[in-house]
Structure 1
Amino acid sequence: MEDIKQTITELALDMGFDAIGFCKAETSDQHKKDLVEFNARGLYGTMEWMQTTQARRADPQVLWGDAKSVIVLGMNYGPDYDPMALLENPDHGVISCYAQNRDYHDTVKKRLKRLAREMVARWEGELKVFVDTAPVMEKPLAAQTGLGWQGKHTCVVSRDFGSWLFLGEIYTTLELEADPPHKDHCGNCSNCLDMCPTGAFLEDGKIDARKCISYLTIEYEGVIAPELAAQMGNRIYGCDDCLAVCPWTKFTKATQEKDYKPRAEFIAPQLEKLIDLDEQGFREFFRASPVKRIKRHRFIRNVLIAIANQKRVDLSKKIIKLQDDEHPVIAQTAKWALQVLKG
């Protein structure tokens, strides 16, 4: 089967993927145990799907019993600038690197489907493609393929691309020889753990999502607790801190994929303008962007927190108007922001 692997690899790289690895359609007992513990402790916060899909997530065979092999593919989205340069800047909000252009799910899935069509045309067998929208433990699987290793921040670290890799998977009935897993190269480094603004990491490789800024700004629907909001700085969508401080980022290359190159208006958006976005303005500004999925109420909540943390007293009049917003999350966060600015 080695010739098939080589052909799939060549096809994938020609189609714009930057990394590829192969493993059996199975996960280790340790990864299953870690998932069960994560769910048992309620570390998923409001992401109930982590609990309800546990069996399928833990074992590829439960998700699809016919799967024999998993192909993990990566696309580099490495920035050509310092993603932490604008943190604490009083004028701007910070959007995570991965969300500064088009939604990566669309781009990766199109490539996966194209590769899948080629595979079906060449070899007998069935397959399924996934891009972070199904219960797949993609990071452990990526580590099993040798694409990289799962770092202390729980994300995949590649010697070539650092942690700047979008992942996608192809489950297939083809029996392909597994690649050897990558050796862990984190060593004694704890940069990612030490850098987390909210102290979300419990220990190496374990995270309390309820404290993670990416979770709070993207997944969490409600009013963010004041003690956590105060640590968010001007991060208004996601957080790149634990990725950006990894020493392996110095070996990475900036992405050449046009869909991942940042749009100028997303690199350093002005808080003064963002706070004025109404429903229509929000939808238009973030058209085709992953930011759009959190809807206006969560986004404006995040902007209000950034304004309060940056002590933008000059924007108080705008905040006063939002105290009467029809969405309670915006209204309550606006009241909190005013209290902070007055305090």
Structure 2
Amino acid sequence: YEVVNDGKQIYFLNEDYNLLKAELNNQDKEKIAGDIKWFQSGNEYIIYAIDDIVYIKPDKNEKEKVTDEYYEFVALSDGTVIYSTDESELYMKKYGEEKVKLASDIQSFKVSEYEKSLSYCTNDYKMYLKIFDNEEAVAIDNVRDYNDIYFSNSLIFRKTLILDDIMGIWHAYENEETILIEFTSDRNINIYDNGEIEWTWPAELTTRNIEGYDVSDLYFGTYPNSRFENFNSLHYINENEIEINGKTFRKIDKQELDEKLQLQKTEFEEKQKKEELKRKIDEAYAKALDIQHTYQYITVDTANLRDAPSMDGEILGTIGKGSGFFINYLEVDEEGNIW
């Protein structure tokens, strides 16, 4: 309920969401409307919403539709309504008059405490001041030069992390391997692997405070079976250092990227060689198990007989093609050779 006109009138919702008006020293109640979502009253006007449609009604006149599309809404004491839309437009509406468009491409607005002016921030990070019945003027050229901005004791802007703040190339290590990612000017993220771009994905960032210990949420899809599959939380430390899922990344330039890519490519090639050697050794062990304790024959023209299971072992003699022998014991060396 709300009390207006020095306590002479009360507007209230009953349990059936009917909006009623009662007056002092009068037991009768007047029904204003039903199915009310919310209302706000003043001495001369009452403003209420039914099914997301906002109406304004003077105390002694018929209701009038204000809007059916609003994102943020402020009603002044004289019944003037100021609201923003989902399309980031700002309007003013007075009873009996057409709505007036005040601004476009806004991200927030506030009305002064004494309802003499309003201020709004646009998506290009300018802040405007408009004294009612006067033209607006730019108050701040770039609100992102400040962490918090208040207008009439109300927070109108808080600096939050955006993709522009982390645009560039970032480097980290994981298990001694080089990790390289890049946030590009076209709002994508590049993941480098094996010395080249492994994949590109649109990046989306939702965040809270740019400073302190608040964590931002970073979304750029998932890449199954990849080390980047769960990269979805980002902490901004400073312009040269960020954390993604707790892993610290350092910002690097293009020259260092080229150097890191070459290092990453070398690491990849060495890893491939190790994996190939491991595969060869595993296959050799499997083959060794198959032929151990069996009778075999020499299939090449000449086989060397050495004094140790190594290519460095001294040659003691040779065995000719077709010679038979029984395998009692086998060894597999570090190169995958069977002895």
Band of TM-score, shorter chain: under 0.3
Work out which of the two has the higher radius of gyration on C-alpha atoms and give 1 or 2.
Answer: 2
TM-score by length of 1: 0.22
Greater helix content: 1
If the length of structure 2 is used for normalisation, what is the TM-score? Answer: 0.22
